[in-house]
Amino acid sequence: MQALIYYGPEKLTIEEMDVPACGHNEVLIEVESVGICGSELEGYLGHSSIRKPPLVMGHEFCGRVAATGELVRGLSTEDKVVVNPLISCRACASCLAGKINVCRNRNIVGIHRPGAFAQFVAVPASNVYRIPEEMDASLASLAEPLAVSIHGVKRGLRPLDDLLIFGAGPIGLLSLMAARHMGAGNITVVDLQPARLEHAQRLGAIVMTPDQLEERRNEGFPQGIPTIIDCVGVQATREQAMTLINPDGTIVMVGLGHDRSALPVNHLVRQEISLIGSYTYSHEDIQQAIALLEQGKIDVQGWTEIRDLTEGPAAFQELAQGKSSFSKIFLKP
């Protein structure tokens, strides 16, 4: 089969490799569409300590069951499916408390085992969800990042509160749409790239650059900013969030751009700011993401593009350099 293999910073090649073996409790999936995630761009640039080359990345995907392990029940060949790529142990204290996303022994498809930038991928059957036959495969591939966004919105937003989102990439745009369906008031999205801001504006957000946000803060938020979701995760966005948030406000940190940031912690203490981490999702978040997709609540027009897997190296380069006018690129093996 063909696969897109990561060999180190800015080194991706298309190669032939063996179809992965299917374990007793696993299913083999023929991939129909797989999205390029922002975290994979960080890996591509060499900024991810957990992605070790050589590696087949890819964790946002939809496909069809091609084979099932002998112990698998409830799934059949040709079933159209999406996958929760986070594999939890289901036995540690976090898992027993229902917090699979912070499982102490977690593994992730495309990080700790081969992922879906390939024609086939093997995954645990317990992580597979059937979807309607008529659902578009690329739309369905958004189930995973949409679940990330739903989880982040749940972590910080109170119904009817105004919301500020840093980043108009895929997670930022999906957070915008999730927040609208979860009762947010006015939503402002901040980004540096004009094309991305256009996507956010078309989806109903007030849009600003970071400089405009500083200039128009009082105009845009007369009651202040009660909640910020940072989908970028770099020094600049984290620091700006700390200076802008209301006393007793909440900052939800979703983006993983920088591992370390210098922040005014005494200000956080004195203003009783809640700084909350948000990582991946729960089973419920995945199911709710699939439901929103099935109901046609997520708009992908204008901000997504589909390319062939062989165009993967070029797509990664364009996204990493900020040269793509699209926030999300799907690859089709």
Q: DSSP for 155-201, please give it.
A: HHPPTT--EEEE--SHHHHHHHHHHHHTT--SEEEE-S-HHHHHHHH
- Over the stretch 222-265, which tens digit does the pLDDT of each residue have? 889 999 999 999 999 999 999 999 999 999 999 998 889 999 99
Axis-axis angle for helices 194-202, 170-181 (nearest 10): 20
What global pTM score does this model have? 0.95
- Over the stretch 86-142, which tens digit does the pLDDT of each residue have? 999 999 999 999 999 999 999 999 999 999 999 999 999 999 999 999 999 999 999
Rounded Cα gap, residues 197 and 203, in angstroms: 10
Task: Tell me the domains of the chain and their CATH numbers.
Answer: 2-142+300-332 (3.90.180.10), 149-277 (3.40.50.720)
- The mean pLDDT of 186-212, rounded to a whole number, is 95
The total number of residues written for the chain in this structure: 333
Residue 220 has pLDDT above 80, yes or no: no
Residue 217 has pLDDT above 90, yes or no: no
- Over the stretch 4-60, which tens digit does the pLDDT of each residue have? 999 999 999 999 999 999 999 999 999 999 999 999 998 999 988 889 999 999 999
Residue 218 has pLDDT above 90, yes or no: no
pLDDT at 168: 96
Rounded Cα gap, residues 134 and 296, in angstroms: 12
Those residues with Cβ within 8 angstroms of residue 102's Cβ, 6 or more apart along the chain or in another chain: 94, 279
9 class by beta-carbon count within 10 Å (0-12 exposed, 13-18 middle, 19+ buried):
exposed
